[in-house]
Structure 1
């Protein structure tokens, strides 16, 4: 990031400019410009005492805090400390400054300074959980054991939930019991290894016991537990499982068994060939200790699902649902969909009667529809539509409604429906199903895809629904920090906080981060944040025209619609020129090097060149898209060929026989390709409408000319 790392030398501190305010010897505007450009001279640690931190207030509220994010060369940590301290007064910046101060001091292991700051921290923060926790850590690492144990006991009393969820503190408490000579400290270590799933804190606990020479104080079976969990935590799962397996085949199984050890055993199932042994061990434990049967069924169900034994997983999940635990209803139905779609269709009425929040099941219901369509079970889709109509919102019902109507209209299903197919399409296209939001939603969801097609088939030319500007909402706790960072050009830091603090940042603050990212041509990061948070911003933010001039020119050169090329780049790379897929596809249009080489030869280029260069990649990608358009009969087929290859497309077409084009898309066996075509139709519609006066009817006729 363009941040400065050099500050003013000592002699500059005495300079002042008559008649205008200065900051550390510079006029305010000069300081601001040098701050951003990184052209301030160097500052050394010995100069810090001469700085006037009150002058920073001229930069606005929270300025000392925001300057602490800049790297400060030789002055580094001491200067950041003074900046934090300068902010410990006015809220909301004081709380942020204290949290950052604690973080930095703990990271630098400056425990003495944490203790020395006790008198400098305003009294109102003495009960602040992060501050009290840092004091426990400082006393612990300084081996002030009695004091640390006392403060930790008080912390447990005042913040029981936070401490229980903090494995670091639980480990400290366990170690302190040994250090302070409590008689039952060995039992505390056994509990620590038994009650929590294997993790990095177990490695530290084992190392502590080994280094301190304390392992001999444990019995053989206790050592087996400790070492087994430690090995799993270190990734040595085979050895760890063998130790635990022997332990739980012994006479003291119940003593060492808990939710934590059961989960540790499950971790060993990641090792090839061990899943069967883990399930067998679970079975023996369940027979011996029926009290753990329910939890073992839960863990076994997830293991079975992970290795593809979905029907067995369904049986276990279903038993948990029948015992009243609705948390497993989704897993039960999903496992059945993946193992037997006919059985899932038969169980659909049960699902509808049991699900409390239908939208939670939208993905698994979509998967059921996709699987039936792929195998051309059009009658099954119609049956499912009849069951779901009236029970789920339009977003879930759309594929069932559209495919059912089209199957009936084309003679693929003769199953009667409550409404004529044309009326179903009209309801869908006009957004008249419960939960619809009027016109077709603009984002590239399958709901938008089906509603757009239904609207066009109903002779209704829809327009994208306008997204509102960011509404007035209650500010989040972290909003002042995010907005302040942006005001100082610290976009990376603002993005990190927004990504990690969803509950503490409002949509307004997140929208400001998106705008800042777009302003720096960082469209991928902006779009990912925008889509993940579903921030209510205008359509132009959802569908930006990055690299506008190059894209427009090359689209015209290759006779490719500009709205289509923008849509393709958005889908392929989110406008990131350096995008690299796991398969090796590169750049804005995600070209494989071999494809790029062929395109370059066809264009008379000596070599593809640098595929991360936007203009080079767009030129080759636009040519390849145009080439696919020349070799196919529709934009939908061209996009399927671009994604999966022309050979696969032709094979799929032969297998589909005479299916209508829109239903052919449903039978494509590659989920990625099916979604690709659908998302690009909706994205093209938005780009076409926003920038090129392209209506839904014209767009659909180009995607599916025979519809």
Structure 2
């Protein structure tokens, strides 16, 4: 070959190399632009891009990016492109992304009927031990259907799994009787249990589900025979059948006899006997059963259940029965939190019925195991009663209780309402920004994974559920960034819950996030427009309106409650329509922020005009004006702090605490009003004096 031809070839090769490098650089530049566009929420940046090239470039840019890119494609309905991205992500250096991608590909294979593909991706992926959720369920189901599979994995799932995946693992292992553990959860795969000798049981289960409880009792009794087939789940369903059929005493006696003859299910049988005796109103025999459970059980949860029923029975009996029992409860319980909600109801009942002198006795009897929320509740009730002259306390006793309230209210498990009562002249921010009790141990991989997830704004609506497995081990700072990003994008519900969970864990929150994320002010234009146009009651300002809106919906315009209340201010359609007519407005959509805020503001203003105190109006907003009128009259003799705790509807008591606390925070953060002044404005009482002698 001549030197000229060699030179030309080398030159041509150089051109090819230069072109290749330029093309690769172009791809990289394009990837950065796409990722930046997705961070801004612009999915149109994916148009005209080849998914495989983009996924490989994104993965080179940042490990794990191909996984989130695949999820974006999936959200756009582009399944093929999503699959290509997930195949790239299945080889990612980011373990969380690899786990997620493999799980997605296994589920995708299952949906396409490619059962071999489910196994193949499981083998090629990250190891059976780290598979989660649907991916693990699909793999175990495939093994169960065809037989075989990794026995060690199946045994692990059978012990550690739950629901459908556990049922399939037990089925694959041939442990037919243990499959029944999943019947109650209605997660047993079709065809697993309604076969052969299981037919009788299948008919009994069907009778329960169809409401034929008498038939279900007979079916389960026929299946159990002498009790040799008794399992916890079968007993649970039989208990349900007895209770709903009304055959309470008969059922209690059956379980009691079963407890005497079948030692392997003795405690479960006693559990159901004790409950049924209670439902039948036979509290003496119920107590006898629960005393036995408390003595014999080694499980803390079962001992706590025994304590709960014993205390509930004592409360039902009334008189001094709860106080007589209380000194014995520390032997069964670690904390009174396990007595919720029966203890809360008992305290409320004592206040309603004027048994104020019982409150200090109850506090003393339960002192060793009082949880911070219950200590705060009882301290508040006792101090408020003493201040109103309803019981006597020495100055030393009052001082001790005020210290107890201050300490208990600082717990992240205690509602901030009690913190505000305990510190009316201090900054309320300390409740959220205090030093944690113990630092969180962070996983760098989880932290990087979540930091990357924040860049994919199109995924924000479902992002917390996509990354929930890694939230407990990520560094707090990246979770703060996530909460800030969610809030800025309008996903306040998710952002507030994320920060609330971190606070409950004992992690101090940055002050700026308390203001901008935990207590944000979205829809401000609509709020100001409603206040300006309607000119509502003087007590209704932005702080109160935001406090109520936050607790009603966490600023989710499309939320609908179990009672069919809709939107930001959770309006019942009939109430909203009545308010609309009063304002002579055209019909609108309650999920529209402006329409909802206008009607909600108008209705709350009317309640404020109707009732003498804002707390009465808030009770009316929550429980209806008829109830609020009855309560305001029936408990008018009680000072406001006790009036709140006396309300017979637990939901409304909790609602008032929440709205009062949020309104105080908004007043402090955005209007510079003190805790003491704002609580006086809303409750009509100086809380510092109301909790002093």
TM-score, normalised to structure 2, is: 0.78
What is the 5 A alignment of 1:178-577?
189=176, 191-192=177-178, 197-198=183-184, 199-201=186-188, 203-206=190-193, 209=195, 215=196, 223-225=199-201, 228=204, 239-248=215-224, 250=225, 253-269=226-242, 271-273=244-246, 278-289=251-262, 292-302=265-275, 313-325=286-298, 326-335=300-309, 336-337=311-312, 338-341=315-318, 342-352=320-330, 354-357=332-335, 360-361=338-339, 364-389=342-367, 392=370, 394-414=372-392, 417=394, 419=396, 421=398, 423=399, 426-427=402-403, 431=406, 433=407, 435=408, 437=410, 446=415, 448-453=416-421, 455-456=423-424, 460=425, 463-465=428-430, 467-468=432-433, 473-476=440-443, 478-489=446-457, 490-499=459-468, 503=472, 507-532=476-501, 534=503, 536=507, 537=509, 538-540=513-515, 541-555=517-531, 557-558=535-536, 559=538, 560-577=540-557
The 1:362/1:30 distance shift into structure 2, 3 A limit, reads: closer
Alpha-carbon distance between aligned partners in 1 of 2:217 and 2:555, rounded to the nearest angstrom? 46
The 1:312/1:374 distance shift into structure 2, 3 A limit, reads: farther
TM-superposition CA deviations, 1:156-184 (whole Å, max 9, x none) = 5787745898221221232xxxxxxxxxx
Who is 1:702 aligned against? 681
The 1:309/1:574 distance shift into structure 2, 3 A limit, reads: farther
Who is 1:66 aligned against? 68
Query: Do the aligned residues in 2 keep the contact of 1:196 with 1:261 (CA within 8 Å)?
Result: no
Among candidates 101, 106, 117, match of residue 102 of structure 1:
106
Among candidates 661, 664, 687, match of residue 682 of structure 1:
661
Deviation at 1:375, TM superposition (A): 2.0
Among candidates 608, 611, 616, match of residue 595 of structure 2:
616
Alpha-carbon distance between aligned partners in 2 of 1:547 and 1:613, rounded to the nearest angstrom? 11
Query: Do the aligned residues in 2 keep the contact of 1:206 with 1:226 (CA within 8 Å)?
Result: yes
Among candidates 625, 638, 662, match of residue 604 of structure 2:
625
Among candidates 80, 83, 87, match of residue 83 of structure 2:
80
Who is 1:5 aligned against? none
The 1:620/1:308 distance shift into structure 2, 3 A limit, reads: farther
Alpha-carbon distance between aligned partners in 2 of 1:686 and 1:647, rounded to the nearest angstrom? 29
Higher relative contact order (CA 8 A, sep 6+): 2
Which SS does the other structure have where 2:192 is aligned? Answer: helix
Deviation at 1:622, TM superposition (A): 1.9
Who is 1:33 aligned against? 37
Who is 2:639 aligned against? 660
Which SS does the other structure have where 1:487 is aligned? Answer: coil
TM-superposition CA deviations, 1:392-416 (whole Å, max 9, x none) = 46543222222222322333224x5
Query: Do the aligned residues in 2 keep the contact of 1:16 with 1:25 (CA within 8 Å)?
Result: no
Which SS does the other structure have where 2:389 is aligned? Answer: coil
Deviation at 1:68, TM superposition (A): 2.0
TM-score, normalised to structure 1, is: 0.77
Bigger mean CA offset, 648-657 vs 355-364: 355-364
Bigger mean CA offset, 388-397 vs 638-647: 388-397
Deviation at 1:266, TM superposition (A): 3.0
Query: Do the aligned residues in 1 keep the contact of 2:619 with 2:652 (CA within 8 Å)?
Result: yes
Query: Do the aligned residues in 2 keep the contact of 1:577 with 1:613 (CA within 8 Å)?
Result: yes
Who is 1:588 aligned against? 568
Alpha-carbon distance between aligned partners in 2 of 1:168 and 1:235, rounded to the nearest angstrom? 27
The 1:621/1:53 distance shift into structure 2, 3 A limit, reads: closer
The 1:581/1:224 distance shift into structure 2, 3 A limit, reads: closer
Who is 2:628 aligned against? 649
Alpha-carbon distance between aligned partners in 2 of 1:129 and 1:579, rounded to the nearest angstrom? 33
Alpha-carbon distance between aligned partners in 1 of 2:83 and 2:122, rounded to the nearest angstrom? 18
Larger helix share, 1 or 2: 2
The 1:488/1:378 distance shift into structure 2, 3 A limit, reads: same
The 1:684/1:32 distance shift into structure 2, 3 A limit, reads: closer
Query: Do the aligned residues in 1 keep the contact of 2:335 with 2:370 (CA within 8 Å)?
Result: no
Who is 2:26 aligned against? 22
Query: Do the aligned residues in 2 keep the contact of 1:401 with 1:424 (CA within 8 Å)?
Result: no
Alpha-carbon distance between aligned partners in 2 of 1:461 and 1:31, rounded to the nearest angstrom? 45
Bigger mean CA offset, 353-362 vs 260-269: 353-362
Which SS does the other structure have where 2:33 is aligned? Answer: helix
Query: Do the aligned residues in 2 keep the contact of 1:381 with 1:400 (CA within 8 Å)?
Result: yes
Who is 1:167 aligned against? 167
Alpha-carbon distance between aligned partners in 2 of 1:567 and 1:308, rounded to the nearest angstrom? 43
Deviation at 1:316, TM superposition (A): 3.0
Bigger mean CA offset, 359-368 vs 513-522: 359-368
Deviation at 1:380, TM superposition (A): 0.9
Alpha-carbon distance between aligned partners in 1 of 2:128 and 2:561, rounded to the nearest angstrom? 50
Query: Do the aligned residues in 1 keep the contact of 2:372 with 2:413 (CA within 8 Å)?
Result: no
TM-superposition CA deviations, 1:528-562 (whole Å, max 9, x none) = 34335546433222211121232234335324221
Who is 1:6 aligned against? none
Gaps of 5+ in 2: 1-18, 687-693
The 1:366/1:594 distance shift into structure 2, 3 A limit, reads: same
Alpha-carbon distance between aligned partners in 2 of 1:523 and 1:596, rounded to the nearest angstrom? 24
Deviation at 1:90, TM superposition (A): 1.9
TM-superposition CA deviations, 1:421-458 (whole Å, max 9, x none) = 4x3575367x2x4x554xxx7x8955x434534555xx
The 1:99/1:340 distance shift into structure 2, 3 A limit, reads: same
TM-superposition CA deviations, 1:462-505 (whole Å, max 9, x none) = 54416349998433464444333331222234211344666555
Alpha-carbon distance between aligned partners in 1 of 2:518 and 2:173, rounded to the nearest angstrom? 49
Query: Do the aligned residues in 1 keep the contact of 2:623 with 2:652 (CA within 8 Å)?
Result: yes
Which SS does the other structure have where 1:204 is aligned? Answer: coil
Which SS does the other structure have where 1:38 is aligned? Answer: helix
Deviation at 1:75, TM superposition (A): 6.9
Query: Do the aligned residues in 1 keep the contact of 2:640 with 2:685 (CA within 8 Å)?
Result: yes
Who is 2:57 aligned against? 55
Query: Do the aligned residues in 2 keep the contact of 1:313 with 1:332 (CA within 8 Å)?
Result: no
The 1:274/1:237 distance shift into structure 2, 3 A limit, reads: same
Which SS does the other structure have where 1:582 is aligned? Answer: coil
Deviation at 1:566, TM superposition (A): 0.6
